[in-house]
Amino acid sequence: MDNRPIGIFDSGLGGLTAVREILQIMPHEQVVYFGDTGRVPYGTRSRETIIKYARQDIAFLLSKQVKIVIAACGTVSSVAAGLGQEIPVLYTGVVEPTALAASLATRNQRVGVIGTSATIQSGSYRRALNALNLDIQVFEQDCPLFVPLVEHGFSRKDDPVPRLVAERYLAPLKEHGIDTLIMGCTHYPILRDIIAQIMGKDVTLIDSGRETASFASEMLRSQNALCDETQTAAYSFFVSDRVEGFSKAASVFLEQNIVQDVQYINIDAFAKDP
Nearer to ligand DGL, 119 or 204 (CB): 119
Three-state secondary structure call for residue 144: coil
Regarding 10 and contact with ligand DGL (CB under 6 A), the answer is yes
**Dist. CA 258–CA 169, nearest whole Å:** 33
Q: Which amino acid is at 267?
A: I
Say whether 73 is catalytic: yes
Nearer to ligand DGL, 5 or 74 (CB): 74
Residue ranges of E strands in 36-156? 68-71, 90-92, 110-115, 137-142
Regarding 43 and contact with ligand DGL (CB under 6 A), the answer is yes
Regarding 205 and contact with ligand DGL (CB under 6 A), the answer is no
60 and 190 Cβ atoms separated by less than 8 Å = no
- Candidates 73, 83, 206, 239: give the one binding ligand DGL (CB under 6 A): 73
76 and 56 Cβ atoms separated by less than 8 Å = no
Q: CA angle at residue 207 from 89 to 86, to 5 degrees?
A: 20
- Candidates 126, 163, 187, 210: give the one binding ligand DGL (CB under 6 A): 187
CB atoms within 10 A of CB 263: 10
Three-state secondary structure call for residue 30: strand
Which among 71, 72, 185, 205 is annotated as catalytic? 185
- The footprint of ligand DGL on this chain (CB under 6 A) covers a number of residues equal to 16
The interface region with ligand DGL, picked from 19-27, 182-190, 228-236, 263-271 by CB under 6 A, is: 182-190
- Alpha carbon 248 to chain centroid distance? 19
- Candidates 98, 119, 212, 217: give the one binding ligand DGL (CB under 6 A): 119
The interface region with ligand DGL, picked from 1-9, 23-31, 153-161, 179-187 by CB under 6 A, is: 179-187
Regarding 35 and contact with ligand DGL (CB under 6 A), the answer is no
The interface region with ligand DGL, picked from 20-28, 70-78, 97-105, 120-128 by CB under 6 A, is: 70-78
Regarding 93 and contact with ligand DGL (CB under 6 A), the answer is no
- Report the run of H or E that residue 135 belongs to, with start and end: none
Which residue from 234, 236, 219 is spatially nearest to 34, judged by alpha carbons?
236
Regarding 116 and contact with ligand DGL (CB under 6 A), the answer is yes
Regarding 71 and contact with ligand DGL (CB under 6 A), the answer is no
Q: Interaction with ligand DGL in 209-238: which residues (CB under 6 A)?
A: none
**Dist. CA 41–CA 87, nearest whole Å:** 24
Say whether 185 is catalytic: yes
Regarding 250 and contact with ligand DGL (CB under 6 A), the answer is no
- Considering Cα of 80, then 83, then 85, then 86, what sign does the dihedral take? positive
Longest dimension (CA), the chain: 51
- Candidates 18, 22, 31, 40: give the one binding ligand DGL (CB under 6 A): 40
Residues with active-site annotation? 73, 185
Q: What is the binding site for ligand DGL (CB under 6 A)? A: 10-11, 14, 40-43, 73-75, 116, 119, 147, 185-187
